[in-house]
Structure 1
C-alpha cells in the first residue's frame, strides 16, 4: 500500500454546489429568509442614493444661483421701533469695491384685487412692493411671460407679478389689469419662481417712481439685495450694515439666501442617518431570519450530515458546507436588495427631476454587510452541524 495518500479536499466548485443544494431543496423558506436581507439592503442603498441625488440637486442649484447674494433688511432701533433705511442706501452699497450688483425693494400700502368689482377687504394674499429695474439681474430671475420693468414702465401704473401672485389673482397673460387700491394697473410681465428669494413670488412689483406717484410711497427701501465677488462675500457682509445705515448699523439685518439651501442639505443629512439606522435594523432582523433558517436546516438534515460523516466527510467540510449555504442565502438577499435599492433611487430621482446618484460604495458596502451577516448567522449552525456524531445523526429522526 502507498503511504503518501492524502485526504481529498473539496474544490471551490464542490463547495458552492453543496451550499446550493440546501437552498434549492427549500426554495420557499430561502425566498422568505433572503427577503429580510433584501429589504434591509434595499433600504440602505435607496436612502444613500436618494440623499446623494438630493444633495447633488441642491449643489447644482447653489452653483446655478450662486452663494454671493446678500440680503439686508431694515430692523428695529434700541426702543423696538422699525427703522427706515436711507433713500441713498442702494447707491452707497454700489460704491463698495467688490459689489457687482445692488438693488432695493420696499413695501407699499396697497390692497390688491383682481378687479374693481371685488371688495377691497377680500385680499388675494398678494402684497405690493416697489422695486428697482435692476432687481431681476441682481437676483438672477427670469421672466416667464411678458417683459420686465424698464426706465419707461417703472414710471407708469404697470406691474410685474411673481409666479404665485399671478396664480392667486388668476392672471394668465400680460395686458390684463388688476386693482391696487383704486388704481387700475396693467400687468406687463409674470416671473418664473425665484428660488433664492421665494417670498417675492407672492408680490406684485411696481417701479419706485410709480409707487411714489400713485401710492404715496416715501422712497425709503426696506430690503436691499447685493451681489459681490465670491471671494469677498464675508468682507462685504461685515461692512454692509454700516454702509447702508451709518448711524444705526445694529438695526440692519444681513443674511445670505443660499444658506437656506445649505441648511436643507444639512437637514437631509440628519434624516439620512436616521433612515440608515432603520435600514440597519431591518438588516439585523434579516440576519436573525437567516440564522433561524440555518438552525432549522441543520435539525432537518441530521441524517444527511451523519451519512456524509460516515462516508468520510471531515468536520471542516461540514462546517464549510453550511457556512457556504448561509453566505449564498445572504448574498442572494444582498444582490436582490442592492438592485431594488438602485431601481427605487432611479425611479424617485427621475420623478423629482434630480440627477440620479447611486454611490458605488453604498452597493459595495451593502454587499459586504450581507456577507458579514451571512458569516455571523451561519457560524453557529455550521459548528453545530460539524459536531454531530455520525452514529447519533444517523439514528436521529
Structure 2
C-alpha cells in the first residue's frame, strides 16, 4: 500500500533577534564605504548638536559665574539713616541671621568712630574720608572680596592691634604693598599703633570697604572701646530664596524695631541672570530639535537609496522564503545600527570639540546630559523613524518585481 508523501513545510524559518541584528549589520559590512559616509553624515549632525548646545552652555556658565560675582545672592541690612537717636542693631543679630534656612553665610562690620593717621606726627584731617571698621573674620567670602597682598584677620590676630587696608585706604595712607621679609608698616588709630598685615583688592560689591581700615572685632573692643553693635550686616543666601530671605531679614535682625532696619533689594544682576537662563534653555531646545531633524532626513535618504540599490537582493531573499516581516526587520535594523554608530561617533566628536574650544576660551566645560542622551538615544529613535518607510517599501516588493528590475 502506497503512502502519500506529506506536504512540505512552507512555514518560514523564525529569525532570532541576533539573526536579525546579524542581517542588519551585514548590509553595513558589505557596503563599508557607503555605510561609512552615511554614518559620517549622521555623526556630523549629532556632533553639531553637541557642539551648538555644549558651547553655549559653557558660555552661559561662565557668564552666570560673572553675574554671581556681582552679588546676585547678597543682601545688606543696616539701621535706617536719619534716626534720632540712632538705632543700634543687637549684638547677637548676626547669629540670628545665620539661623534663617536659606542663608548660607553672614558677617558684619561696625563703625568704630575713630580716626586713622599714617603716624602720630600727621594732622588727622589729612586722612578724612577713611573709616575704621571692626570686621568679623569671615567677612571676605560673604562680600566676594580678596586679599591682594598679606593676609586677612583671623583667630591668631583677634586680640592684637592689627589692621587690613582697603585698596583706596592703602593708597591714601601711602602703603601700596607689603613686601615680604620686611618689617610690616604701622598706622596710628585713636592714639594707638596698629600693624598692617594685609591689603585688599578692589571690592566692587562693597566700595565702602575700599575706603576703610579693618581691625579685628575683639581688638576693636579692647583697643578702641568698640561697643559690639554691628553697623552693616552682609548676608549671602541661596538665589532662589533671596526674596524670601529679604522679607524676613529686618524682623530677624531687630525683632523689636524691624521698621528701623533698612534692607537692600536684590541686585539687578539677579534678574539678568534669570533672564539669561531662560533664553539659553530655549536656545538649546531649538538647536537640538533642528540638529536631530537634519540627522533623521539624512538617515531616511540613505535607507531609501539602499532599498533601490538592493532590489535584487530583496527579491532573492523573498524567493528563498523570507516573508515581509523579516525584510522589514532587516532594513529597520540596518537603519537603527547605522544611526547608532553615527550617534556614538558624533557624541564623541562633539564632546572632544567642546572640551577643546572651552579650554581655549578659558570657560568651564559643560556637556549637557540631555545633549549626550539625544546624541545616542535620539539618533537611534530617529533611525527607527527614518528607516520605517524604506523597510516597509522593501517588504512590499514581490520576488518577481524585485528580480525583474534591470
TM-score range, shorter chain: 0.5 to 0.7
Cross-structure match for 1:134: 136
Matching residue of 2:14: 9
Task: Say if 1:84 and 1:221, in contact at 8 Å, map to a contact too.
Answer: no
Aligned equivalent of 2:335 = 326
Q: Deviations over 1:74-102 (max 9, x none)?
A: 88xxxxxx857976534x36458724666
Instruction: Classify 1:190/1:96 alpha carbon distance in 2 versus 1 (closer, same or farther; 3 Å).
Output: closer
Distance 1:388 1:306 in 2: 7
- Residues 305-339 of structure 1: CA distance to partner in whole angstroms, max 9, x if unpaired? 22322333222222111111110011112222344
Q: Which residues of structure 1 form unaligned runs of 5+? A: 76-81, 109-126, 178-184, 210-219
| Greater displacement, 36-45 / 289-298 | 36-45
Q: Supply the distance in 2 between the matched residues of 1:85 and 1:317 (Cα, whole angstroms).
A: 92
Tell me how far 1:379 sits from its aligned partner: 0.5
SS of residue matched to 2:315: helix
Structure 1 length-normalised TM: 0.61
Match of 2:320 among 294, 305, 311: 311
1:33 aligns with 2:75: no
- SS of match in other structure, 2:135: coil
Q: Secondary structure at the match of 1:8?
A: coil
Query: Is 2:299 aligned against 1:290?
Result: yes
In 2, Cα distance between equivalents of 1:201 and 1:289? 61
CA distance in 2, matches of 1:243, 1:130: 28
Conserved in 2, the CA contact under 8 Å of 1:287 and 1:374?
yes
How far has the Cα of 1:371 moved from its partner? Answer: 2.2
> What are the ranges of 5 or more consecutive residues in structure 2 without an aligned counterpart?
99-105, 114-128, 186-193, 217-228
> Do the aligned partners of 1:72 and 1:223 also contact (CA within 8 Å) in 2?
yes
- Offset at 1:347? 6.8
Q: Secondary structure at the match of 1:375?
A: helix
When residues 133 and 12 of structure 1 are mapped into structure 2, their CA distance, relative to the original with a 3 A threshold, is closer
Deviation at 1:247, TM superposition (A): 7.2
Contact 2:93 2:254 in 1 (8 A): no
| Shift in alpha-carbon separation, 1:272–1:287, aligned structure 2, 3 A | same
Using the TM superposition, give the Cα deviation of residue 132 of structure 1 relative to its aligned residue in structure 2, in angstroms.
Answer: 2.3
TM norm structure 2: 0.60
Q: Which residue of 1 aligns with 2:263?
A: 253
Contact 2:96 2:253 in 1 (8 A): no
What CA distance in whole angstroms lies between the structure 1 residues aligned with 2:281 and 2:316?
Answer: 50
Paired residue for 1:299? 308
Q: Check if 1:71 corresponds to 2:76.
A: yes
Give distance in 2, aligned partners of 1:389 and 1:85. Answer: 100
Q: Which moved more, 1:384-393 or 1:185-194?
A: 185-194
1:318 & 1:227 partners in 2: Cα distance? 65
1:180-200 C-alpha deviation (Å, 9 max, x unpaired): xxxxx9964134798xx8445
How many pairs does the alignment contain? Answer: 334
How many angstroms apart in 2 are the aligned matches of 1:266 and 1:173? 45
Q: Are residues 40 and 284 of structure 1, via their aligned partners in 2, closer, same or farther at CA, if it must alter by over 3 Å?
A: farther
Change in Cα spacing, 1:280 to 1:380, as seen in structure 2 (3 Å) is same
CA distance in 2, matches of 1:243, 1:203: 31
Question: 2:28 maps to which residue?
Answer: 23
Highest CA radius of gyration, 1 or 2? Answer: 2
| Mapped partners of 1:299, 1:172: distance in 2 | 80
Residues of 1 paired with 2:202 and 2:7: CA distance? 87
User: What are the residue-to-residue correspondences of 1:56-67 with 2, within 5 Å?
Assistant: none
RMSD: 5.4
Residues 1:103 and 1:7: Cα distance change in structure 2 (over 3 Å): closer
State the Cα deviation string for residues 82-134 of structure 1 (Å, max 9, x = none). 857976534x364587246663367x9xxxxxxxxxxxxxxxxxx96653232
Structure 1 contact 160–189 (Cα < 8 Å) conserved: yes
1:278 shift after superposition: 0.8
